[in-house]
Amino acid sequence: MVTQAQILQWLQAFASEIEQNKTYLTELDAAIGDADHGINMDRGFKKVSVQLPTVADKDIGSILKTVSMTLISSIGGASGPLYGTWFLRASTAVAMKQELTEQDMLELLQAGLDGVLQRGKAQVGDKTMLDVLSPAVAAFREAVRENQNTVEAMQQAVAAAQRGLEETIPMQAKKGRASYLGQRSIGHQDPGGTSAYLMLKSLLKVLESSVE
């Protein structure tokens, strides 16, 4: 089971990962975007960190919805709407729950992915965060089907996310600011995919630390 306390730990851990990687994310974005992804994400998740204590006694759905609203109101560019939508859809999938089974976690991750698909109108292969999120959800689903527990399933998901992230490097961008560069977008890792990978990796770290 993933507890409400672990979800709070994850969000705090993700905020810390973004802060630590702010410059890196911005450098990635400077190559093919507006050079503001790290700055925007850090601003949004600093505000999330401030909000977390106010929802510490709430159910998981309410916590994730608060994250969504905070990000939408504080992050500019495409990242605010996309991450805001991810957390909003995830919150709906686990509404009123205090702890999550493997199936609940799968539904949370799938709902987030579906939201980004609909909001961003991108596809796998367009060099976006979908190239990280989609294989991660597929790997998590397969692991659950094989009766693996949440930690094992998340390990599979993060491994798939890392492969997906590396595969964005040779891709030509077909969405967002990076698509304007055409072939010059080839050879650069996608910044949104990188932050999506950090999101999943920070969740895995929290889950693994509770098992040790």
Which residue is it, tokens 């030509």?
Answer: 172
Q: Amino acid identity, residue 183?
A: Q
- C-beta of residue 22 within 8 angstroms of C-beta of residue 42: yes
State the CATH number of the domain containing residue 7: 1.25.40.340
Backbone torsions φ then ψ of 121, nearest 5 degrees:
55, 30
Instruction: Give the pLDDT of residue 4.
Output: 98
Residue 16's identity, in one-letter code, is S
Indicate the helix (H) or strand (E) that contains 100.
strand 99-100
pLDDT tens profile 157-177: 999 999 999 999 999 999 888
Q: Kindly give the interhelix angle for 4-20 and 191-211, rounded to the nearest 10 degrees.
A: 140
pTM (predicted TM-score): 0.97
- Total structural domains within the chain: 1
Length of the chain: 212
Where does residue 136 fall: left (phi above 0), alpha (psi -120 to 50 degrees), or beta otherwise?
A: alpha
Which residue range forms the structural domain that includes residue 9?
2-211
User: Residue-wise pLDDT tens for the chain (212 aa)?
Assistant: 999 999 999 999 999 999 999 999 999 999 999 999 999 999 999 999 999 999 999 999 999 999 999 999 999 888 999 999 999 999 999 999 999 999 999 999 999 999 999 999 999 999 999 999 999 999 999 999 999 999 999 999 999 999 999 999 999 999 888 999 999 999 999 999 999 999 999 999 999 998 76
Alpha carbons 200 and 132: distance in angstroms, whole number: 9
